[in-house]
A and B are shown apart, each in its own frame.
Chain A
Amino acid sequence: MLYDLFIAPFAEFEFMRRALAGAFALALGAGPIGVFLMLRRMSLVGDAMAHAILPGAAIGFLIAGLNLFAVAAGGLIAGFVIALAAGLITRATALKEDASLAAFFLISLAVGVTIVSMRGSNIDLLRFLFGSVLALDDATLLLIAANATISQFGLALIFRPLVLECVDPVFLRSVSGAGAWAHIAFLALLVINLVSGFHALGTLLAVGIMMLPAIAARFWARDITTMITIAVATGIVSGYAGLLLSYHTSVPSGPGIILVAGMFYGISVLFGRVDGVVRQLFPGRHLEA
């Protein structure tokens, strides 16, 4: 009975195993990135960037059809271009970064959907918007795994300047010029993780596996290492439970994963040890010192 419920779907079906592997890799790469986005107050930047990838991927699709490398390369290029352009426009004009990103992502979404519709069917469009976690082929799985690996090592390399750039940026500039490079490397890691997420969860939900576990982790930890660990664990459990949910019910798989992550978020907001709602309403008796 328990076996049928929790293990059989993965033991019996290869596409479920692939989906699980993809979801795990995604959680490992995206979780830490999400924590930094949240701590830098860039949560919505991730969202905007995810949309920005769509037109690039769509152009790849227009040229080469559903070819992994064309679509991924298009997405990567578009992601980097948008990240740079948004930064430049902010610097050159009076627009705040969030405003210029909002402008970019609305335009990108419209352009992307238009291009996909020009060449493909509604099925293709759905695939672009919501991903296809149940149809990951070898190449896509490898891409996601490679991105997760790069992301882990890359983050380890830039961890110290990145943390300091968040807490005490002027001090960092007084001891080292690494801050700007760390920021650029971080944006690059963000883009490759979004491209991974795009393949599995689509342009609209790719950020979900990045931000929801990170925001949930905020309610359980007071130091960044624990926070990242919790975010990754939450992402992994969401992937597993979301796939089960979609297998046993009629919930589509991508949204299933994000729904479970959303549930973890809700629980954390309510019952989190650090500033959770219940904890604030009923803080217990004050301490002696």
Chain B
Amino acid sequence: MTAQLRFCDLTLGYDRHPAVHHLNGTVEAGALLAVVGPNGAGKSTLFKGVVGALKPLAGRIERDGFAQQDIGYLPQVAEIDRSFPINVFDMVAMGLWRQAGLFGGIGNKQRGRVEEALAAVGLSGFEDRPIGTLSGGQMQRMLFARLLLQNARLIVLDEPFSAVDSRTASDLLGLVRKWHDERRTVLAALHDIDLVRANFPETLLLAREPVAWGPTAEVLTAENLLKARRMCEAFDKEAEACAITEAA
């Protein structure tokens, strides 16, 4: 069965204000898709919808063949309360949620897997460090380790390379490429256009409305980028109810 992700006239947002407006399209199984757009373009909102953390205002997301446990999510670092007293090991071990669930214990075998994941991202020896003491790059490495444990077929990365140096970015990109080679479906919200051009075959340019979606070289033209920036003006408090009716 080929698992794919389809957006059907999808509108997502907060308090009735759309942050993603009337999005249509399909993410094929095994795709490596970059989602690019200015701040406030709706990238994070789209991803929250994909992982099931946000209900659509209208339209729907079809996850054919992807159950909730097939989805791995890397949230934006800003979403994480770094002052919370939890250490790196416990945080990464949450990637085992699928096996451990609400109450399951973390046995020796699972401990081994956590250690492996930490080693794979270069964080061996950081097990007992409180997450508040990590640098931006170490924080992203930790989140990638948790993703490795989730072993998901659909991987959603919200700004995975923000605030990391080039070495960390290239290490983590290696993991993304490996996932792609394993035919996993990967979506990533990114700001670095050059990085997208070099590594991501497919791009969705979003500015609340989809601007363009297709092969990266055709999407990331100067003209499209300018258009995206123009479309992303502040939201209108007096906005009328959207007149576009939902497609049947």
Contact = CB atoms under 8 A, between A and B. Distances in A.
A175 B68 contact: yes
Nearest to A175: B97
B103 A173 contact: no
Contacts of A171: 73, 75, 79, 94
Given A166-B81, A169-B79, A173-B53, 7 more contacts: A166-B84, A167-B81, A167-B84, A170-B79, A174-B51, A176-B102, A224-B85
Given A173-B51, A174-B73, A223-B87, A167 B80 contact: yes
A10 to B, nearest CB: 35
Contact of A174 (B52, B81, B103, B130): B52
Contacts of A157: 102-103
B5 interface: no
Contact of B85 (A169, A173, A175, A221): A221
B147 to A, nearest CB: 10
Interface string B52-89: 11000000000000001101010100011100111100
Contacts, number: 70
* Secondary structure class of chain B's binding surface, majority of residues: mixed
Nearest to B98: A175
Interface of A is mostly: helix
A176 B75 CA distance: 15
B91 interface: yes
Q: Which of B51, B84, B130 has the most CB of A within 10 A?
A: B84
Interface of B: 48, 51-53, 68-69, 71, 73, 75, 79-81, 84-87, 91, 94, 97-98, 101-103, 130-131, 150, 156
Interface of A: 39, 157, 160-161, 163-164, 166-171, 173-176, 178, 221-224, 227
Q: What are the 8 tightest A-B residue pairs by CB atom distance, in nearest-first order?
A: A173-B53, A174-B51, A174-B73, A175-B97, A167-B84, A170-B75, A222-B130, A224-B85
A31 to B, nearest CB: 15
Contacts of B101: 176
A142 B45 CA distance: 49
B86 A223 contact: yes
B107 to A, nearest CB: 15
A223 B85 CA distance: 5
Nearest to B71: A174
10 contacts: A39-B84, A39-B85, A160-B102, A164-B94, A171-B75, A171-B79, A174-B71, A174-B73, A175-B69, A222-B130
